[in-house]
Structure 1
Amino acid sequence: MPTPVIAIADVGKTNKKLFLFDRQYQIVWERTEQFSETVDDDGEACEDLQRLSQWLLSAVREVLTLPEYEVQALNFSTYGASLVYLDAEGRTVGNLYNYLKPYPDWIRQQFYDRYGAPDVLSVQTASPALNSLNSGLMLYRIKYDKPRLFRRIWYALHLPQYMSYLITRQMLSDLTSIGCHTMLWDFEKHRYHDWVVSEGFDKLMGSLFPADKAMKAFMVGGDTADGQPRDLRVGVGLHDSSAALIPYLASFGESSDGAAASPFVLISTGTWCISMNPFTSQPLTAEELQYDCLCFLTYKGQRVKAARLFAGFEHEQQTKRLADHFGVAVDYYKQVRYNASLIQQLQQTTVPLQPVEEGLIPAAVLASLAGSPFGDRDLTQFDDYETAYHQFMLDLMGGQLISTALVLPPEGSASAEDAVTRIFVDGGFSKNPIYMNLLAAAFPDKEVWAASVAQATALGAALSFHDQWNPLPVPPNLITLTRYTAS
């Protein structure tokens, strides 16, 4: 008998992956592909949408023919902040523009002159003013900067929903894509913001569809649907940030008797270290938005407060610098063990470059949210790599403490139900004992856990769809934990 599975297409900027999960949510098959970017109509780098579409259709067709597996469901998780534009016949027009694409000053000025100051709109939409990273502003740009293209657009789908459209031919939206730094969603009124309605963009987005509900597939024989429904349940797709949180909510979001469990923060570490608190209902302040905080929505519509730190990128840059200076391999840091005595010595003898004032976050310290101050240190002051690397991690943790604290309730203001008691860390830094020990020391009143879960984003997209295909209960052992305590 073939094994019942769910297929998940997980599309990142670099890697395009397709996984098969069995009913215990173990990966039983996977395929990864990378391909080069193309250029858009301005000559700037962007995703090759045609190749991405062909890859998805080909990969799905392949797994449907595997004799050892019975694919019963299909869902999607992709990076966000990116819209795909389609014409009246459902054909793509324009490009999948890069969310780092430079934004014209005159368009930005026109938008805020018309609809209000950036700080006001940012608070209402829980979206820092990020230009092309706000997908709503990218659509606004097309309307006024590329009017001929805009006149051809009948639908604008975020990338996860476009992936789903290729299989279902349904023009839909979902909360996880609409509600993540798009500047489209009014978090106070729980609907599209007034400016979106005023521009008529709400009519382009398609109906909101629940991410835990299924559609039928009209599986593809070529590049268009052949009109023959298959016995395959298909999801609408999720934004990757929301999807990555789902395994933790499924495992730790409630106690065994169904009661609410103690709140937690997840620090998802990679190029960016993103601290996420799904247990707060407090709206963002203008000050928090200034410090790169934002809110996004889970597929159930719950608000998640998030803050990001460019720590993974900073780690990559500084370990290269250390390797060059000390004449060792770039990954030599993996051999460095946590040395509590050395940390204590450095704390007592090294003058901080950016001191923290009591009750304040000085501008100099806020600058460290981009990474760390270690780049300004003279490496000749360190006797060896071990000492220098411990100092780097101390500097990096200064920024991490500030970033994570931004998503925690202020001291004395949280009720017992809102008080965060646990911090989980997944991704690269969860395997770094120096980072984990320093984090435990930075938050001595919290339980700090290194978490290990295979392909959290893809797993989250599968778990959101659990009731649609899997008759078994969600396994209790999806995440492996290791606790660190302050020393």
Structure 2
Amino acid sequence: MSQNKVTAVFDIGKTNKKFFLFDEEFQEVHREYIRIDEIKDEDGFPTENLEALKNWMKKVFNDILKTDRFDITAINFSTYGASLVHLDENGNVLTPLYNYTKQIDESVIDSFYQKYGPEEDFEQITGSPKSGMLNSGMQLYWIKKNKPEVFKRIKYSLHLPQYLSYIFTGIPISEYTSIGCHTALWDYNKRDYHRWVYDEKIHLILPPIVSTETSFNMNYNGKRIKIGVGIHDSSAALLPYVRSVKEDFILVSTGTWSISFNPFSDSKLSKEEVENGCINYMRINGKAVKASRIFLGNEYKRQIEFLSEYYKVPRDFHKNIIFDYDIYYEITKDFEPMFRWESLETETMPRKTILKYPNIEEAYHQLMIELVTIQAESIKIVAGNTKSYKLFVDGGFTDNNVYIQLLSHYLRNMSLRTTKASLGSALGAAIAISDKKLNSKFLKKNYSLKKHVPFIIK
């Protein structure tokens, strides 16, 4: 019986750990997933159970190799960023995988910026706003200052995607997309590590940098397999678009965070862009990706809960509301903001939420007009004034009719398309180590591409 040639991908999120097999057309042919309970670090803070994760990955992969259904030719890894695994000279893990939401001493952060600031310049150069442990470089500085005995024993510090690759190869490396995700390690002007990395001798424990497309042809359990070096999940989700779309575009990935990616901006981050929440990611070749992010999904969820209680309706009321032009016209005729945000900041928001509508459809349209206005501004920040872009939207808000109608209206100069990309980062990891060229029909075939036309203004 002839076996299907497939690429294996471990897609490791904070909650779900997934394993996929993709055939040569990048169609999913197998999936497994698990949830692994967190453990606690030495301070009692929740953290990833690395040992359990490693054991699950090895078992899943070894089991699939034993079956005769698939011929696995390659494997790659996609994970969340801002996370480092520290290894000693024997390859043993030295510390817990510190959670990027863990608080660290403000005195350590202050001493860092006093030494290497001023803050604004540093944030511009590194594309990384001051964010504590979410800047994984700060974790290395913190360990050096607060845990010097541990720091002395570190042979290599690996970003999480590269540690997962290391589990299978034993080869320590660094790659661009992990270095470039708000780590505060990279100087985007020099296209090299920032001066502080060398001053603090951090570079000595960071393995050599390779392109994200790098792979190692290895003998794994008696089988020749191409093993990738791993990729940061946001950059992985962007890759299928970069490879298949010929025009310049912006991708808006919606969910708890709404992140707008512009892989085609040649300008460095300005002071104003940093103040407006812009950061840099990196493409697989080290080129900067300008990005802006807003806590849109989180705010939406909170306001939906508020509206549900206010109007005494079920929590899922919003799923049935579609865009109504007449309501939109009445609200915008004499518009005033009515919502007080819980996780967003806008200059015009009132001191408290005051609603003047008798029914929830109008209140919901008011909410969406205010939220989508913020979303459109976030997209305009990364678009700049120089080019026209296609606009792709994926994630949770693609099913929200009111959101899509309003966004296509507010950004009428962009051609808006939605995609269904539930496999986005996993698929990106498979594509990263593939030699296959993607054509312009790829998104239509694999991502349910749908075009949207702005509504007619009456």
Matches within 5 A, 1:394-409: 394-409=369-384
Residue 264 (str. 1) matches residue 232 (str. 2): no
Q: Is contact 1:369–1:400 with CA below 8 Å preserved after alignment? A: no
Structure 1 stretches (4+) deviating beyond 6 angstroms? 471-475
Matches within 5 A, 1:313-324: 313-324=298-309
| Superposed CA offset, 1:415-447 (max 9, x none) | xxxx13311100011111100000011111111
Q: CA deviation at 1:66?
A: 2.6
Residue 382 (str. 1) matches residue 320 (str. 2): no
Residues in 1 aligned to 2:302 and 2:230: alpha-carbon distance in whole angstroms: 34
Gaps of 5+ in 2: none
Percentage identity across paired residues of the two chains? 36
Q: Is contact 2:261–2:292 with CA below 8 Å preserved after alignment? A: yes
Q: CA deviation at 1:474?
A: 9.1
TM-score (norm 1): 0.88
Residues in 2 aligned to 1:471 and 1:315: alpha-carbon distance in whole angstroms: 38
Gaps of 5+ in 1: 220-227, 255-260, 355-363
Corresponding residue for residue 406 of structure 2: 438
Residues in 2 aligned to 1:376 and 1:32: alpha-carbon distance in whole angstroms: 43
How many positions carry a matched residue from both structures?
A: 452
Q: Is contact 1:176–1:299 with CA below 8 Å preserved after alignment? A: yes
Letter in 1 for 2:259: I
Residues in 1 aligned to 2:176 and 2:379: alpha-carbon distance in whole angstroms: 24
| Superposed CA offset, 1:277-312 (max 9, x none) | 001110001221122211111112221100001011
Q: CA deviation at 1:123?
A: 1.4
Residue 230 (str. 1) matches residue 210 (str. 2): no
Q: Please, which of 440, 451, 455 is the counterpart of residue 483 of structure 1? A: 451
- Cα 1:271–1:461, aligned 2, differ >3 Å: closer, same or farther? same
Q: CA deviation at 1:154?
A: 1.1
Corresponding residue for residue 304 of structure 1: 289
Corresponding residue for residue 247 of structure 1: 240
Corresponding residue for residue 392 of structure 1: 367
- Cα 1:454–1:23, aligned 2, differ >3 Å: closer, same or farther? farther
| Superposed CA offset, 1:124-148 (max 9, x none) | 1111111111000111001101112
Corresponding residue for residue 133 of structure 2: 132
Q: Helix, strand or coil: the match of 1:448?
A: strand
> Which moved further from structure 2: 3-12 or 340-349?
340-349
- Cα 1:272–1:473, aligned 2, differ >3 Å: closer, same or farther? closer
Letter in 1 for 2:429: A
Letter in 1 for 2:31: E
Please give the root-mean-square deviation of Cα atoms over the aligned residues, in Å. 2.3
Corresponding residue for residue 459 of structure 1: 427
Q: Is contact 1:216–1:229 with CA below 8 Å preserved after alignment? A: no
Q: CA deviation at 1:478?
A: 2.7
Residue 161 (str. 1) matches residue 162 (str. 2): yes
Q: Helix, strand or coil: the match of 2:5?
A: strand
Q: CA deviation at 1:230?
A: 3.0
Matches within 5 A, 1:8-407: 8-217=9-218, 219=220, 230-252=223-245, 254=246, 261=247, 263-352=248-337, 368=344, 373=349, 376-379=352-355, 381-407=356-382
Q: CA deviation at 1:193?
A: 1.0
Q: CA deviation at 1:326?
A: 2.5
Residues in 1 aligned to 2:161 and 2:347: alpha-carbon distance in whole angstroms: 30
- Cα 1:368–1:401, aligned 2, differ >3 Å: closer, same or farther? farther
> Which moved further from structure 2: 327-336 or 300-309?
327-336
Q: CA deviation at 1:34?
A: 1.0
Q: Is contact 1:251–1:478 with CA below 8 Å preserved after alignment? A: no
